[in-house]
């Protein structure tokens, strides 16, 4: 399809005798939120690591706009417009919210090691950073040291840092991990503001959030996709129900 930005074809990842990704074919379309769900150990984070370039697959291909990028590393993929967040928050705790995003803008501009370009003074870094924070509802927290932010705000900040390079595809690995219901609700509203502006692949255990956000959902079990469809199709899929029967009934 012409609107497919990021895709895998027959992706396989083995760690010795363990098959973590098993013949995975996946498509992420322009402007959609595509959720990747499954029980612990299903291979979701391993799949995201291969899409981002953090891990090389054992077999299969990763495509971006139809171009084979399987052998490109993370920096090269970031240059193409693929950004990711991680399960564990990775902001600079001693810097302000605005500093963090300004430094990310600097890194995406390709001169992060030119220290004389002061990220705390350079308007070419500060202004885009402020714009990202304002767009995502964090503008009022720009001067707050990141260590003083709530856990949910730190997760939002990490996404803002990923957005600093204006990526076309955003890979989010459990953005609501460790959040209570109130913070999760705020994160859902935060992600809704991004919907349609770029493609998002969302790995998440919070099923209420998944069904509130996703346009399409792929279900992984033991590294293999057992179903892909709209939230309504996934809710009604007997194979999905059987896969979760007797666990936490994730799609009930």
The pLDDT, as a whole number, for residue 21 is: 98
The domain ranges of the chain are 1-81+168-252, 94-166
- Comparison of pLDDT for 187 and 73, the residue scoring more: 73
What's the whole-number mean pLDDT along residues 190-209?
Answer: 92
On the question of pLDDT at 251 being above 60, the answer is no
Q: CB burial class (10 A; 0-12, 13-18, 19+) of residue 173?
A: buried
User: 245 pLDDT exceeds 50?
Assistant: no
pLDDT, position 156: 87
Overall average pLDDT of the 172-176 stretch = 90
pTM: 0.87
Q: Given this structure, which CATH class describes domain 1-81+168-252?
A: alpha beta
Residues 58, 14 contacting (CB under 8 angstroms): yes
| Ramachandran class of 126: left when φ > 0, alpha when ψ lies in -120 to 50, beta otherwise | alpha
Residue 244: pLDDT band with limits 50, 70, 90: low
> Quick check: 187 and 155 in contact, CB under 8 A?
yes
The predicted-structure confidence for 99-129, as pLDDT tens digits, reads as follows: 999 988 887 776 544 544 566 778 888 899 9
């Amino acid at each position: 399809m012409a609107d497919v930005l990021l895709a895998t074809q027959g992706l396989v990842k083995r760690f010795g005798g363990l098959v973590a990704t098993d013949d995975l074919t996946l498509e992420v379309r322009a402007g959609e939120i595509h959720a990747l769900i499954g029980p612990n150990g299903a291979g979701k984070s391993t799949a995201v690591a291969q899409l981002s370039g953090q891990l090389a697959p054992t077999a299969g291909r990763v495509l971006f706009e139809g171009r084979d990028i399987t052998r490109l590393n993370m920096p090269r993929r970031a240059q193409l417009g693929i950004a990711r967040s991680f399960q564990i928050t990775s902001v600079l705790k001693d810097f302000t919210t605005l500093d963090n995003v300004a430094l990310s803008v600097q890194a995406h501009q390709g001169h992060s090691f030119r220290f004389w370009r002061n990220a705390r003074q350079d308007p070419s870094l500060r202004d885009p950073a402020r714009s990202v924070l304002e767009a995502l509802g964090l503008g009022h927290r720009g001067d707050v040291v990141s260590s003083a932010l709530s856990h949910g705000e730190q997760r939002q900040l990490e996404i803002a840092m990923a957005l600093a390079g204006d990526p076309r595809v955003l890979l989010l690995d459990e953005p609501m991990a460790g959040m209570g219901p109130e913070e999760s609700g705020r994160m859902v509203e935060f992600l809704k503001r991004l919907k349609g502006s770029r493609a998002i692949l969302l790995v998440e255990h919070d099923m209420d959030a998944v069904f509130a956000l996703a346009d399409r959902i792929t279900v992984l079990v033991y590294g293999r996709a057992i179903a892909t469809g709209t939230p309504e199709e996934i809710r009604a899929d007997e194979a999905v129900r059987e896969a979760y029967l007797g666990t936490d009934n994730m799609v009930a």
